[in-house]
Structure 1
Amino acid sequence: MKHARLVPEDVEIAGGGLGKGLRVLVVSQHYWPENFRINEVVDSLRSEGCDVEVLSGQPNYPHGKIFKGYSAFGLGTELHPSGYMIHRVPLVLRGRGGGFRRIWNYLSFVMFGVAVGPYLTRGKPCDVVFVYAISPILQGLVGAVFRQIKGAAHVIWVQDLWPESLEETGFVRNRLALAAVERLTSFIYRRADLLLVQSRGFIGKIKAVAGDNIPIAYHPNPGDLPPVRGDIEEIPPLSLPAGFNIVFAGNLGAAQALETVLDAASHVQDPDIRVVFVGSGIRSEWLRQQIEKRRLTNVVLAGRFPSAVMPSIFAQASALLVTLNRSKALSLTIPSKIPTYLGAGRPILACLDGEAAELIQDSNAGLAVPAEDSIGLAEAMVRLKNMPEEARECMGKAGRHYYDAHLAPARLARELISHFRYAVDRRTRLR
C-alpha cells in the first residue's frame, strides 16, 4: 500500500461545489471563537458545498478562562455567524496550564463527547466524522464512537506524534506509561478509515503504530483564509516601529525554543534589528521576566491579536520567525504557522530541523539554521538584514508562489473532500 497523497500534487482539482451533498461532523476540542486552523478549514469545506457541523468543548484556550457568554459546564448547540451548528459539551477548564488540570481538561472532552455528544447530534446523519487531532490523540476516541453510532467514515487528521511528543517534552518519562500510551494510540488509529498527516515525516512513525491495514495520506495544513472585508480596522492595532522587525507570531509554549530566540537577540549588536513576539502561551510570563532580567531592549512582547488583523502585522514585518526545540519528533513536524508565513509573502527565518527546514529551503522562502543554534540564528538575522532589499523581496515572492501552488486553502479543501470520499467508499466496501 502506498502511503502518500491519495490526491496527486500535480493534479488540478476543479472547484465549484465538489463537496455538495457530503455531510461532515468535525470533532475538535478547540474551535471558534478560539483561534485554531480547523476554523478556516471548516469555512473552506463549506465554500466547496459540504454540509458541516462541529462538536467541540467550551472555549477557554489559551488562558484557561471561559470565554464571555459560555459556561464551563454548559451543554447545547449554537449557531455560528456563518450559519452552521456548533455542538458544545462541558469541559474541565485548563486553568493556568498545570499538568493535572490539563489532563482533566483533555479527558473531560472525551468523556462528555462520548456521553452527550450523540444526544446533541441526534437525528443528524453524517457521511464523515473528521477528527482534528492536535494533542492529545484521545479525541480520536470520540470519533470512533461516532463512527459506530452514525455509520460514518472516520478520518483523523494527525497533527502531533504520540507517544513521541509526550516523551520528548518530558511530560511522561515512565517506560510503562509510554508503552500504554502507544497501545492506546494504536487502538485509536485502527478504528479510523483514513489517517491524514500534516507532514510526510509522520508517515513511517504512524504506520509502525497503526499497522498496514489503515491507509495513510499526506495532507498539509493550509494557510489562513483571506480576512473578510470589514473584519480589519483601517488602522492596524499594532504599528511596528522603524527598523528591521523580525516577527514571531503564535503560541509561546514549551516547544518553541524561546530561550534560543532570546540568546540570539543577546548576540545581535545591530540596533536596527528587533524581535517582536505577537501571541501568547504558557511561557508568556516567563518570557517577560527573561526580557527584563537580561535587559534585552531589542525584544518586544506585543501581546495577542485577533487573526483577522494578523495580515496587517505581517505586512509590516521585515521577516517572520519560526523556531522549535531540537527533538526527533519535532523534526518531523511542520508548524502550522509556516503556511501562513509563506502566504504572507515575507522572508522567513527558521531555526529548526527536519521537514520544516527543508520546506523553507526548497521553497527558497528564507534562511534556515539548525534548531537551538542561537549563534547561527543571530548570524542569520544580521545576514538577512544586510541583504539587498531585492533579494529579500525575491524570498517573499518565492514563498507566496509555493503557497499558491501547494498550500492555498481552497485547493487543500478540495483535496480534503477527495480524501473524505475515498474514506466513505472504503468504509462502504468493508461493510
Structure 2
Amino acid sequence: MKKSPAGGVAFVCQWYPPEPASVPQGIAAALAESGLSVRVLTGVPNYPTGVVPDGFAAWRPSREMRDGLRVQRTPLYPSHDASAPRRLLNYASWAVSSAFFGQGLLRSSDVALVYSSPATAALAAMVARRLWGTPYVLLVQDVWPDSIFASGFLTGAVGRVARRVLDVFVGRTYRGADHVAVTSPGMIDLLASRGVPPEKLSVVHNWVDEGPVADADETSTSRVRESWGIGADDFVLMYAGNHGQAQALQPIVEVFADLPRDAGCHLVLIGDGVAKAGLIDSARGNATIHFMDAVPREDMAALMSASDAQLVSLADEPLFAVTMPSKVQSILAAGLPLLVSATGDSADVVRSAGAGLTVAPGDRQALRDAVLQLAGMGRAERRQLGRRGRGWYDEHMSRAVGSEALHRLLERAVERRRA
C-alpha cells in the first residue's frame, strides 16, 4: 500500500484518550500502522464525567505525544450531564474552538478523517475545506439529528428549532465531504433517501480488540458460575451493557421469570441504567435471574466465557434498525453465539453469519422459544455458532478490513484533490 504523503492525515474527533474512547484511538492507531502519518485534533478531556483531569485546563489549547501520535487539543465547555443546553454548549464550544485553533494542523494535512459523533465535530474540517481545499472523509457513527432526538435529549420549542438547525448543518457536512463512510448498511439507505449520492457512501464497520477464539478455561468458568449459584450444566444467557429504555430488557426478564426452575436456564445482566431498578423489581425472588454492577472492560472476557450465549436487545424504533451496537462486534470477535432481539442491521448480521438466533423486539413467545432452543443445543453446536460468527467478523468487520477500507478512501480523496 502507498505510503502517506508528507502532509498526512488529520484525524478529527471530539473525544480521545485519556477519555474512554477506544474506538477513535483504535482507528488512529490502525491508520498509523498502515503507513499513514496521522495527527489527532481533539478536545480537552472531560468525558464521561464532565470533569477535566489534572494536567489539563478546559480553556487552554495543548499539544502532546500519546502512543506515538501527535495530539492537539483545543478548548471546550466541559459537560456531560443531563442538561441539554450544557451538552449542546459542550459540542458547540469544541466545534468552534477546533475550527479556530485547528486550522494550522488541517492546512498542513493532505486529508482529514472526521469521527462524526457528535456531528458538530465536522465544523473544523468544513472550514479547512473552504479555506485551504483540504478534503475530508466523514466516518458517521450515529445519524444526527435522529439519535439525539430519539433519546429524548431535546424536546418542545427548543427541540424543534435545534432540529431545523442541525438538519441544515448535517446536510452540509455530507455535501462537503469527499466521501461518507457509515458503520452499518442501513445507514446507507437512510442517508441516500436524504439526498447523499449512493456512490459517495460505503460501509466501514467499527472493530474491537481482537484475539484468538479460545475455549473457556473450565476452572475459571466453574468458579464464576459458582459465584452466581449456577451449575456447570445449566444454560446461561448474558447481557452486558446499558439498562435503559432503548435496550427493551423487560420482555427477556419476564420470559426467564416464567420459565420453570427445572429448565436450567439462567439470565445474567451486567451493567447499570435508568431501567435497572424496574427490572430488579420484576425479577424479585427469582433465583434464575442475576444482576451485576458494571465491571471494567478488562474483566468482561472472563465473565463472557462463563456464558453460553450473549443477548443483544434493542427497542423497535426506526433509528435502532440502522444501529450496530458495538457489543455485536465484541460478541462475534469473542466467538460466542448471539440471541438478538432487534430489527435491522444487528439481526441481519447474525443471520448472515449463522452465529445465533434472532427474534422480533418484544415478542415474548419467540424469545422463550429461542432461549429454549439455545439451551437445548449441545455445547459443541453452540460453539460452532460462535466460530461461524468469528469467521464472519474476521471477513467483514476486523481491524485489518476496516483500516484498509479507510486507508483507501483517504488515498482517493488525496488523489482527487491533486487532480
TM-score in terms of structure 1 length: 0.82
Contact 1:195–1:214 (CA under 8 A) maintained in structure 2: no
Q: 2:216 matched to which residue of 1?
A: none
Q: 1:408 matched to which residue of 2?
A: 398
Q: C-alpha displacement at 1:403, in angstroms? A: 1.0
Q: C-alpha displacement at 1:302, in angstroms? A: 3.1
**Counterparts of 1:260 and 1:18, CA distance in 2:** 51
Q: 1:218 to 1:385 in 2, by over 3 A?
A: same
Q: Which runs of 5+ in 2 are unaligned?
A: 213-219
Is 1:144 aligned to residue 126 of structure 2?
A: yes
Q: Aligned runs of 1:184-333 on 2, under 5 Å? A: 184-212=169-197, 215-226=200-211, 239-240=224-225, 241=228, 242=230, 243-270=234-261, 272-279=264-271, 283=273, 286-288=275-277, 290-292=279-281, 294-295=283-284, 297=287, 298-306=289-297, 308-333=298-323
Contact 2:245–2:275 (CA under 8 A) maintained in structure 1: no
SS of residue in 1 equivalent to 2:362: coil
**Counterparts of 2:244 and 2:114, CA distance in 1:** 23
Is 1:58 aligned to residue 55 of structure 2?
A: no
**Counterparts of 1:100 and 1:264, CA distance in 2:** 40
Q: 1:398 matched to which residue of 2?
A: 388
Contact 1:193–1:214 (CA under 8 A) maintained in structure 2: no
Contact 2:333–2:390 (CA under 8 A) maintained in structure 1: yes
Q: 1:12 matched to which residue of 2?
A: none
Q: 1:385 to 1:310 in 2, by over 3 A?
A: same
Q: 1:77 to 1:258 in 2, by over 3 A?
A: farther
Q: 1:309 to 1:89 in 2, by over 3 A?
A: farther
Could you list the per-position Cα deviations for residues 14-42 of structure 1 after superposition, in whole angstroms to 9, with x for gaps in the alignment? xxx65544711111112223133222122
**Counterparts of 2:116 and 2:376, CA distance in 1:** 41
2:329 aligned partner, one-letter code:
P
Q: 1:293 to 1:337 in 2, by over 3 A?
A: closer
2:265 aligned partner, one-letter code:
I
SS of residue in 2 equivalent to 1:143: helix
Q: 1:148 to 1:262 in 2, by over 3 A?
A: farther
**Counterparts of 1:387 and 1:68, CA distance in 2:** 52
**Counterparts of 1:277 and 1:74, CA distance in 2:** 41
Contact 1:30–1:56 (CA under 8 A) maintained in structure 2: yes
**Counterparts of 1:293 and 1:250, CA distance in 2:** 19
SS of residue in 1 equivalent to 2:185: coil
Q: C-alpha displacement at 1:176, in angstroms? A: 5.7
Q: Aligned runs of 1:108-127 on 2, under 5 Å? A: 108-118=93-103, 121=105, 125-127=108-110
Q: C-alpha displacement at 1:77, in angstroms? A: 1.6
Contact 1:60–1:94 (CA under 8 A) maintained in structure 2: yes
Is 1:155 aligned to residue 137 of structure 2?
A: yes
SS of residue in 2 equivalent to 1:190: helix
Could you list the per-position Cα deviations for residues 323-372 of structure 1 after superposition, in whole angstroms to 9, with x for gaps in the alignment? 11211121122222212211110011111101211111111101111123
Q: 1:150 to 1:378 in 2, by over 3 A?
A: farther
Identity across matched positions, percent: 28
* Relative contact order higher in (CA < 8 Å, ≥ 6 apart): 1
Contact 1:19–1:417 (CA under 8 A) maintained in structure 2: no
1:127 aligned partner, one-letter code:
D
Pick the aligned partner of 1:75 from 61, 76, 91.
61
Per mean C-alpha deviation after superposition, the further-off stretch among 344-353 and 94-103 is: 94-103
Q: 2:21 matched to which residue of 1?
A: 35
**Counterparts of 1:379 and 1:168, CA distance in 2:** 30
Pick the aligned partner of 2:326 from 308, 313, 336.
336
SS of residue in 2 equivalent to 1:303: coil
SS of residue in 1 equivalent to 2:102: helix
Alignment RMSD (CA, Å): 3.0
Contact 2:188–2:198 (CA under 8 A) maintained in structure 1: no
Is 1:169 aligned to residue 169 of structure 2?
A: no
Q: C-alpha displacement at 1:287, in angstroms? A: 1.4
**Counterparts of 1:374 and 1:65, CA distance in 2:** 42
Pick the aligned partner of 1:350 from 331, 340, 355.
340
TM-score in terms of structure 2 length: 0.84
Q: 1:97 matched to which residue of 2?
A: 82
Q: Considering only CA atoms, is the larger Rg found in Structure 1 or Structure 2?
A: 2
Contact 2:181–2:201 (CA under 8 A) maintained in structure 1: yes
Q: C-alpha displacement at 1:409, in angstroms? A: 0.5
Pick the aligned partner of 1:377 from 367, 392, 399.
367
Contact 1:267–1:378 (CA under 8 A) maintained in structure 2: no
